[in-house]
Structure 1
Amino acid sequence: MWQELIDNIKELLQIYNKLFKLNERKRQAITAIDMLVLDGLVDKERELSDSIMRIEQKRQAILKKMAAGNAAINESSSFKNLLVFCPDNYKKEFVSDNEALSAVVQKTIVISENNRLLMQGALTAVNMNINSLSGVKAAPGYEKNGEQNFSANKRKLDFEV
């Protein structure tokens, strides 16, 4: 079962590496404002996220099987908890794969957050351009009903229209 768990971690590692590379391409699409490419990347990102969920469910099933033979292991056991029970012949591979997974997950989180900030900046720039064209000033926030805040100039524009 330990080899099955290690294989599962390797599978997660591959998916997160793909997700990281996809996020690098996503950053390029955001900076180039290539909405067609960005749309395709978002679809691929959704597929990879679904794969992660599927593999994670598989990992939990493996841990559930392992828990049947060891009461200290459960579906949400951490790496450190599992390491205590890991047989010596699997320990080196288990540790290295977990460390690699942790590193790539952290890198993916960072680049994903950076992409989110880039998108937010791009949307703000688009908002400003639309505002300058229409003569309406939109605040960067939204009201309780989900509509964007506009300045008093909106009423004037509505009246003129």
Structure 2
Amino acid sequence: MQQLHFPAYSFRFKSSENKISIFDEIRKKFVILTPEEWVRQHVVQFLIQEKKYPKSHINVEKELILNATKKRYDVVVFNKDGSIHIIIECKAPAVKISQNTFDQVARYNLSLNASYLMVTNGLQHYYCQLDYENQQYVFLKDLPLHS
């Protein structure tokens, strides 16, 4: 898999039926290793190891209903009270981050009301804090550490 713009992390892999799987610490199972999954697993390790978020506050690939349509978010980080702290949208490295990517995560946030958004393809990372009072995003250099 392609080198990403994250620190180097160690992962568990297994191979079966000519497919490689990577172990997801949050879902506690092996999942097929796709380019997007490679990015998602780096994001999870980034949150745990660099930003010090507890694994118990991280959720991966869960369904949400948006305008009567089923969608799946990539990664969500919860606050202690169960409210949503960060929504993260992961794309494969070959996928350019565009306005459509931001629109997608913004649509998810209509029902989730996160404090922060992150969009990444593993090579480029964008971080935003939501300013609900002024109805705008404030771009940041990084995500906050877990407090």
TM-score (norm 2): 0.22
Structure showing greater Rg: 1
Greater strand share, structure number? 2
Tell me which of the two structures has the higher relative contact order, counting C-alpha pairs closer than 8 angstroms and 6 or more residues apart. Answer: 1
TM-score (norm 1): 0.21
Greater helix share, structure number? 1
